[in-house]
Amino acid sequence: MDTGRSGRIRKVCVVGASGKLGRYLVSRALDRGWEVVGVCRERSVGKLDGFADRITVVPGDTNDPEVIRRAVAGCDGVLTVLVPWGVRQYSSGTARAVLDHAEPGARLVFSCGWHVPRDDKDRYTRTFTASVRIVTLLSRALRVVDVDDQLAAARLIFASDRRWTLVRASDLEEGESQGLPVWTRHVGDPLLKSNLTRRVDFALFMVEALTDDTLVHEAPAIVGRLAPSVLARRDES
């Protein structure tokens, strides 16, 4: 059993660094003065030009164990954007590579959406479940995305004794930061009803989680701190 503590973060790896969320994660990590290694597909390296000379880029598929092994060496934390692209276990392969190769005791923070259940206490509306099912079937038929593979990735994470957090986000939007999102342990809490978070704040939550031991082995479902459902709860109390 891995019982290491987060300790001080000096160096982090961002897996999936070239996407929208990944670039926010890189920015936030650099703001904290951490050394950053980014992993992205070879074709996307140019998307990280804005960080030239400030980060080390390891090009390659994020589900390639050898790429991940090199990238996470010496990192105290790993921030992983889990995406279910294609039908070749991209998400679960990425999660497995990070879980297998991260340094002992490293803090591992992964991203996904609310559609990933933590356990049977998550409550979904019938409309939500139906729309996820339709997207899952359609995208798999077109061989574009395999949503079920993101669920497989989550199961690997939940079964791991690493120091993980799986952050489950609401729908996302662009815009200025509103501050740290609020979270609940289970989907279905009325606090989450507004179902909207700024992508920049999703990144903030993931970066903060690296040094928040109360989030180890949690799968927080997050929503923007200025979302109407959050403000309504505040007014009640």
Ligand X SMILES: NC(=O)c1ccc[n+]([C@@H]2O[C@H](COP(=O)([O-])OP(=O)(O)OC[C@H]3O[C@@H](n4cnc5c(N)ncnc54)[C@H](OP(=O)(O)O)[C@@H]3O)[C@@H](O)[C@H]2O)c1
Smallest distance from ligand X to CB 203, Å: 9
Smallest distance from ligand X to CB 5, Å: 26
Query: 108: closest CA among 68, 149, 61?
Result: 68
Closer residue to ligand X (CB): 105 or 189: 189
Smallest distance from ligand X to CB 9, Å: 21
Smallest distance from ligand X to CB 230, Å: 17
Q: Any idea what DSSP says for residue 218?
A: B
Q: Taking CB under 6 A as the rule, does residue 111 contact ligand X?
A: yes
Closer residue to ligand X (CB): 151 or 226: 151
Q: Taking CB under 6 A as the rule, does residue 21 contact ligand X?
A: yes
Closer residue to ligand X (CB): 25 or 102: 25
Among 20, 69, 186, 193, binds ligand X (CB under 6 A): 20
Q: Residue 46, SS3? A: helix
Query: 207: closest CA among 71, 103, 105, 107?
Result: 107
SS (H, E, C) 117-160: CCCCCCCCCHHHHHHHHHHHHHHHHCCCECHHHHHHHHHHHHCC
Q: Are strands 163-169 and 221-223 parallel, antiparallel or unpaired?
A: parallel
Helix and strand counts by DSSP (H, E) for the chain: 7, 10
Kindly tell me the sign of the dihedral angle through the C-alpha atoms of 207, 150, 155, 157: negative
Smallest distance from ligand X to CB 143, Å: 11
Q: Taking CB under 6 A as the rule, does residue 18 contact ligand X?
A: yes
Closer residue to ligand X (CB): 51 or 85: 85
Instruction: Report in angstroms the alpha-carbon separations of 56 from 11, 32, 71.
Output: 11, 16, 9
Smallest distance from ligand X to CB 109, Å: 11
Among 27, 35, 47, 148, binds ligand X (CB under 6 A): 47
Residues binding ligand X (CB under 6 A): 16, 18-22, 40-41, 44, 47, 81-83, 85-86, 90, 111-113, 169, 171-172, 199
